[in-house]
Amino acid sequence: MYDLRTWRHVFKLDPNKEIDDLSLEKICESGTDCIMIGGTDGVTLENVLNLMARVRRYPVPCALEISNIDSISPGFDLYFIPTVLNSQDPNWIIGHHHQAIKEYGHFIDWKEMVVEGYCILNENSKVAKLTGAKTDLSLDDIEAYAVMAEKMLRLPVFYLEYSGTYGDPEVVQCVKEQLEESVLFYGGGITTAELAREVITHADVIVVGNVIYDNLQEALKTVKAAKEL
């Protein structure tokens, strides 16, 4: 249905943050490949539905990145299901997923689900704290998670997550070299077109989040930067 291998850029909108109509219009009409709705905390069915309804006015694909069971709603084009490979708590690897499938398995259209193998690398991020991610990893450790995601688990997406801080482009390049099939998502600290341009030379898809709320003009420039490569 959607070929992630053709994507370069995703805007991640946090349902727990305010965005005015004009800013949302600019984001949705920016030429990004997808609007992903998701966040770590304060994600409720109400704020997810509200944001989905507003994004739905535009033709851009709209995806939900599932962070908790209670805020899952029908009506999205795609659902991204994170599994945090470097979490030290099995609930964030398979536990919540097991519970969701046990309760709602018969509703799931697996063609719409994209499982993302997360490797979280910013120890100070909310998501690292929430999931108990082991972030003091060597390059060998990170590469092994990438190979595990692709070869062992056959996940469509491997997600290098530096949420809130810009990561190391060399790490991104080394991880990219490990992957043949899984699409490499990079997210974290992309605050300028220049950083977008740098990291898209290593990752397949860049995910841009916080700068939408901090500096909309710069956020919009990351789309062209990602696509001009």
Ligand X SMILES: CC(C)=CCC/C(C)=C/CC/C(C)=C/CC/C(C)=C/CC/C(C)=C/CC/C(C)=C/CC/C(C)=C/COP(=O)(O)OP(=O)(O)O
What would the two tokens of residue 94 be?
């398979």
How is residue 61 annotated by DSSP?
A: -
Least distance from C-beta 20 to ligand 1GP, angstroms? 19
- 91-120 footprint of ligand X as x/- string (CB under 6 A): -x---xx--xx--x--xx---------x--
Beta carbon of residue 13, minimum distance to ligand 1GP (angstroms, whole number): 10
CB 189 within 8 A of CB 214: no
Assigned token pair, 150: 């692709």
Q: Which residues contact 105 (CB under 8 A, 6 or more apart)?
A: none
Residue 47 binds: one of ligand X, Mg ion, ligand 1GP, none (C-beta under 5 to 8 A by kind): none
* Interface ranges with ligand 1GP (CB under 6 A): 12, 161, 163-164, 187-190, 207-211
Closest residue by beta carbon to Mg ion: 209
Q: Which residues contact 187 (CB under 8 A, 6 or more apart)?
A: 12, 159, 160, 161, 162, 163, 206, 207, 208, 209
- Counting residues that bind ligand X (by CB under 6 A) gives 34
Does residue 127 interact with ligand X by CB under 6 A? yes
User: Smallest distance from the beta carbon of 161 to ligand 1GP, in angstroms?
Assistant: 5
Please give the residue ranges that form the binding site for Mg ion (CB under 5 A): 14, 209-210
- Residue 175 or 190 with smaller CB distance to ligand 1GP: 190
Q: How far is the CB of 207 from ligand 1GP (least distance, A)?
A: 4
Distance in Å, CB of 71 to ligand 1GP, minimum = 16
Binding partner at 71 among Mg ion, ligand X, ligand 1GP, none, C-beta below 5 to 8 Å by kind: none
Residues in Cβ contact with 20 at an 8 Å cutoff, skipping those fewer than 6 apart: none
Residue 65 binds ligand X (CB under 6 A):
yes
x-marked contacts with ligand X along 184-213 as a string, rule CB under 6 A: -------------------------xx---
Distance between CA atoms of 226 and 94, rounded to whole angstroms? 32
Interacting partner of 224 out of ligand X, ligand 1GP, Mg ion, none (Cβ under 5 to 8 A depending on kind): none
Q: What are phi and psi of 228, to 5 degrees?
A: -80, -10
CB < 8 Å & 24+ apart, contacts of 41-50? 41/16, 41/126, 41/130, 42/15, 42/16, 43/15, 43/16, 43/67, 43/68, 43/71, 44/15, 44/70, 44/71, 45/70, 45/71, 45/72, 45/73, 47/15, 47/16, 47/71, 48/15, 48/73, 49/73, 50/15
Binding site for ligand X (CB under 6 A): 14, 38-40, 65-69, 72, 74, 81-84, 92, 96-97, 100-101, 104, 107-108, 118, 125-127, 130-131, 161, 163-164, 209-210
